[in-house]
């Protein structure tokens, strides 16, 4: 690879990025001089062009800046009418040599570093030379990097780097696109120059024993910190599995598994908080044992029976101080407990704090994902982007690489066909037809949603009546257990069947753009899930609902949510088995087609979001529900990965992975988490807890426990009135909460 020396025409580089605005007439002067230069060059060099090309063909390295592999003069006529000499001049422009020549890269970075240094300081007016072009005002002959040799350029760059701060220096060294050997040379020169007498005098300041000790301690701490940080990638779970998936199926399918990992992290945080502050302590001080039913296997499915009076549900948790020594024994001394642990307060605070933390984490991931994926400018340039960014370098095996090539070829052909058809104007009748089709499809999908909602409403009413009847009659045991399972079964069946109907509708609609098709499918599925969940929440909290007749309605709601989570998991499993495994067998054996079923990313992600919403809804009523969700997610990862490897192929439609990841995390935040937070706030602020069970028995609302505690605190210790003042004016004042949430979002 020949490395021609750098170009002499560096002037254009600095023109735009000075602090001073160049006046328009100066820029015009720049353009005319450039045009003149090209004309001069072409007139001068035309005569000698043929001779010089012969010299180059003879194999000698020509002294002028000349790219290797220069095309023969005949081909020049095809290149937009430029002559050989003009093309030569153009080829030696900085924009074209930057990519190739080491010297050009060093000069470019030298200029950049100089600009970085100069950014803060404008030169005083007296120092400005009289030159017309603003670019030349700061262009001094002795520091012009363009005309120097490689060694001189290197020392210039080193000089510029020395004037930067160490952090900036490190950043420039990292980001300069030179080979490693070159960077090491630069670094060694930097170290050498830093050790010179000029620097040494500054560092030779008195190094007292105290500061020496501090210095060593700091070094030691920093070494420890770096050691810990380097362990962090090794502690990443599933690194190998994710790499395997990414290398075979590409970034699109990988985004589903990364989303699963994110959800797992949220649940782990939630679970740890609840475990430490609520569950573990209640387990250490169990309440008076109620009559426990024996454990049969059915409890794992229904969440009732043995589990009813256990740590799993709200009803188990006590409503007083936990380590009260005088609870049971009559003749104990009245000494105060060392550290009174007020369970109701702990319960409500832990749930509140964990939701707050989840909110912060969600907003942070959403903003980071948005920052990575948002790009100015619309879909213009998508063919160029498609070609340049199409190849996923993670793909490893030859067979998968071949599949990827086929995918890319299909996508390119489709895009080109779409462009050709777009050029042909569509008749107004056809456009009207399409609008009518879309409206009809949306009407059908909304109708389906309405139908499902009405079905759920009537079915749950019917179930309630059946259950009342069964209790009155004291019917068979299995019937009592099976009836509560019917509603989750119906809802799960709906969620499994209706998306297939939506797929049929989408195929009938014939969308032009596959990306828009995916968005519409996601919208419709999400609408169905959220509306049904909304109806269920209303039923749980309303007076006439299924659980309102129970003594301990919170435990009942917790059990219902547990059943929904378990049923959702079972149906996901069934969907994987039938949708992927069986379908692949059918395609291969019966229909004899080589194609495998595609992994439907959007539907799977929505299922994950739905499951997470259920968990968030149920945290207040069942503190161990995040643990159930963690187990479910772990199992789901391995099952989905196995099924993917055995049965599926990567999606053939184009999939903007980072954009869709942003959409998914936004969907997780907005309908899902926001809905759960609203549900929680409504429950805490307005719903009356049950009389006989749980930490908030007998109070008007759960929120009252907080107020009671504050009053108690005020009475016991008059000195901390400032705390009650904070509580009264800040927490209860909605304006302050508004400010805080606004600050958080910003």
Chain positions 180 to 199 lying near other proteins, rule: CB under 8 A, are 180-181, 183-184, 187
- Restricting to residues 56-75, which ones interact with other proteins according to CB under 8 A? 67-70
Q: Least distance (Å) from other proteins to the CB of residue 415?
A: 9
- Restricting to residues 352-411, which ones interact with other proteins according to CB under 8 A? 372-377, 380-381, 383-385, 387-398, 400-402, 405-406, 408-409
Q: For residue 622, give both structure tokens.
A: 């069942």
Name the residue nearer to other proteins (CB basis): 81 or 330: 81
Name the residue nearer to other proteins (CB basis): 392 or 607: 392
Per DSSP, the chain holds a count of helices (H) and strands (E) of 31, 0
Q: For residue 666, give both structure tokens.
A: 């936004």
CB atoms within 10 A of CB 163: 13
625-647 and 251-274 helices cross at what angle (nearest 10)? Answer: 160
Q: Which of 106, 492, 547, 657 binds other proteins (CB under 8 A)?
A: 657
Q: For residue 258, give both structure tokens.
A: 């990364």
Q: For residue 211, give both structure tokens.
A: 């500061």
* Contacting residues for 678 by C-beta, under 8 A, at least 6 apart: none
Name the residue nearer to other proteins (CB basis): 75 or 431: 75
Q: Do 632 and 611 contact (CB within 8 A), yes or no? A: yes
Q: Which of 80, 125, 288, 745 binds other proteins (CB under 8 A)?
A: 80
- Candidate ranges 175-183, 268-276, 433-441, 689-697; the one touching other proteins (CB under 8 A): 175-183
Name the residue nearer to other proteins (CB basis): 397 or 438: 397
Alpha-carbon 586 to chain mean position: 36
Name the residue nearer to other proteins (CB basis): 216 or 419: 419
- Restricting to residues 416-445, which ones interact with other proteins according to CB under 8 A? 416, 419-420
Q: Least distance (Å) from other proteins to the CB of residue 6?
A: 12
The region, left, alpha or beta by phi > 0 then psi within -120 to 50, assigned to residue 375 is beta
Q: How far apart, in whole angstroms, are the C-alpha atoms of residue 134 and residue 117?
A: 18
Q: Do 103 and 6 contact (CB within 8 A), yes or no? A: yes
Q: Least distance (Å) from other proteins to the CB of residue 61?
A: 14
Q: Least distance (Å) from other proteins to the CB of residue 176?
A: 8
Q: Least distance (Å) from other proteins to the CB of residue 74?
A: 15
End-to-end C-alpha distance for the chain, whole angstroms: 51
- Restricting to residues 708-737, which ones interact with other proteins according to CB under 8 A? none
Q: Least distance (Å) from other proteins to the CB of residue 418?
A: 11
| Coil/strand/helix, residue 536 | helix
How many residues sit close enough to other proteins to count as binding (CB under 8 A)?
A: 73
Give buried/exposed letters for 260-296 (b at 16+ CB in 10 A, else e). Answer: bebbbebbeebbebbbebbbebbeeeebeeeeeeeee
Q: Which residue has the tokens 């000349």?
A: 66
Name the residue nearer to other proteins (CB basis): 1 or 47: 1
Name the residue nearer to other proteins (CB basis): 100 or 434: 100
- Restricting to residues 271-300, which ones interact with other proteins according to CB under 8 A? none
- Positive/negative CA dihedral, 339, 344, 345, 349: positive
Question: What mask of x and - would describe binding to other proteins in positions 92 to 121, judged by CB under 8 A?
Answer: ---xxxxxx---------------------
Question: What mask of x and - would describe binding to other proteins in positions 203 to 232, judged by CB under 8 A?
Answer: ---------------------------x--
Name the residue nearer to other proteins (CB basis): 415 or 587: 415
Q: Do 638 and 579 contact (CB within 8 A), yes or no? A: no
Name the residue nearer to other proteins (CB basis): 374 or 458: 374
Name the residue nearer to other proteins (CB basis): 385 or 436: 385
**What SS3 string covers 589-635?**
HHCCCCCCCECCHHHHHHHHHHHHHHHHHHCCCCCCHHHHHHHHHHH
DSSP H helices in 66-165: 73-76, 84-91, 94-97, 102-118, 134-137, 150-162
Question: What mask of x and - would describe binding to other proteins in positions 121 to 160, judged by CB under 8 A?
Answer: ----------------------------------------
CB atoms within 10 A of CB 598: 14
Q: Least distance (Å) from other proteins to the CB of residue 651?
A: 14
Q: Does residue 90 interact with other proteins by CB under 8 A?
A: yes
């Amino acid at each position: 690879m020949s490395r021609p020396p750098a170009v002499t025409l560096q002037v254009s580089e600095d023109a735009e990025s000075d602090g001073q605005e160049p006046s328009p007439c100066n820029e015009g002067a720049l353009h005319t001089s450039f045009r003149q230069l090209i004309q001069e060059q072409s007139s001068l060099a035309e005569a000698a062009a043929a001779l010089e090309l012969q010299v180059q063909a003879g194999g000698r390295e020509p002294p002028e800046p000349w790219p290797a592999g220069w095309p023969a003069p005949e081909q020049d006529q095809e290149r937009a009418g430029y002559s050989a000499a003009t093309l030569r001049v153009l080829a030696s422009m900085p924009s074209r040599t930057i990519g190739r020549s080491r010297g050009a890269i060093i000069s470019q970075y030298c200029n950049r570093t100089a600009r970085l240094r100069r950014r803060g300081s404008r030169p005083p007016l007296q120092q400005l030379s009289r030159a017309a072009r603003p670019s030349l005002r700061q262009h001094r002959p002795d520091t012009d990097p363009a005309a120097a040799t490689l060694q001189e350029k290197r020392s210039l760059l080193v000089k510029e780097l020395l004037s930067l701060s160490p952090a900036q220096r490190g950043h420039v060294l990292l980001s300069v696109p030179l080979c490693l050997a070159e960077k090491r040379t630069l670094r060694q020169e930097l170290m050498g120059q830093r050790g010179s007498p000029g620097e040494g005098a500054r560092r030779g300041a008195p190094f007292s024993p105290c500061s020496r000790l501090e210095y060593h301690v700091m070094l030691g701490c920093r070494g420890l910190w770096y050691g810990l940080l380097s362990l962090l990638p090794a502690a990443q779970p599933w690194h190998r599995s994710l790499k395997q998936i990414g290398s075979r199926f590409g970034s699109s399918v990988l985004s589903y598994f990364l989303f699963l990992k994110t959800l797992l992290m949220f649940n782990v945080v939630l679970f740890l908080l609840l475990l430490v502050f609520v569950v573990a302590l209640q387990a250490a001080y169990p309440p008076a044992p109620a009559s426990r039913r024996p454990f049969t296997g059915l409890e794992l499915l229904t969440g009732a029976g043995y589990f009813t009076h256990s740590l799993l549900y709200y009803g188990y948790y006590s409503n007083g101080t936990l380590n009260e020594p005088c609870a049971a024994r009559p003749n104990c001394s009245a000494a105060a407990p060392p550290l009174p642990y007020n369970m109701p307060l702990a319960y409500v605070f832990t749930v509140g704090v964990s939701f707050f933390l989840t909110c912060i984490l969600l907003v942070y991931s959403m903003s980071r994902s948005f920052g990575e994926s948002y790009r100015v400018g619309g879909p213009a340039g998508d063919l160029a982007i498609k070609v340049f960014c199409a190849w996923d370098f993670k793909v490893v095996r030859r067979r998968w690489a071949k599949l990827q090539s086929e995918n890319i070829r299909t996508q390119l052909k489709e895009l080109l066909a779409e462009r050709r058809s777009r050029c042909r104007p569509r008749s107004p009748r056809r456009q009207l037809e399409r609008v009518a089709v879309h409206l009809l499809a949306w009407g059908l999908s909304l109708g389906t949603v309405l139908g499902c909602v009405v079905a759920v409403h009537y079915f749950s009413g019917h179930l309630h009546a059946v259950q009342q009847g069964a209790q009155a009659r004291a019917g068979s045991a299995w019937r009592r257990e099976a009836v509560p399972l019917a509603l989750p079964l119906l809802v799960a069946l709906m969620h499994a069947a209706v998306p297939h109907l939506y797929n049929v509708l989408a195929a009938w609609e014939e969308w032009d753009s596959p990306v828009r098709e995916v968005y519409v499918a996601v919208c419709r599925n999400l609408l169905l899930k959220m509306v049904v969940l909304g109806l269920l929440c209303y039923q749980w909290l309303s007076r006439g609902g299924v659980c309102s007749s129970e003594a301990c309605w919170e435990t009942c709601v917790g059990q219902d949510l547990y059943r929904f989570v378990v049923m959702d998991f079972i149906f996901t499993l069934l969907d994987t088995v039938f949708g992927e495994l069986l379908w692949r067998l059918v395609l291969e054996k019966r229909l004899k087609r080589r194609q495998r079923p595609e992994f439907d990313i959007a539907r799977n992600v929505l299922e994950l979001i739905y499951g997470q919403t259920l968990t968030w809804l149920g945290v207040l009523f069942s503190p161990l529900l995040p643990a159930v969700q963690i187990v479910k997610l772990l199992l789901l990862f391995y099952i989905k990965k196995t099924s993917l490897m055995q049965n599926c192929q990567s999606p053939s439609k184009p999939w903007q992975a980072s954009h869709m990841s942003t959409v998914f995390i936004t969907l997780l935040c907005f309908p899902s988490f926001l809905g759960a937070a609203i549900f929680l706030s409504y429950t805490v602020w307005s719903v009356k807890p049950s009389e006989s069970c749980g930490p908030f028995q007998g109070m008007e609302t759960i929120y009252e426990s907080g107020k009671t505690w504050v009053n108690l605190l005020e009475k016991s210790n008059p000195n901390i009135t400032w705390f009650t003042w904070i509580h009264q004016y800040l927490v209860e004042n909605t304006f302050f909460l508004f400010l805080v949430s606004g600050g958080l979002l910003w």
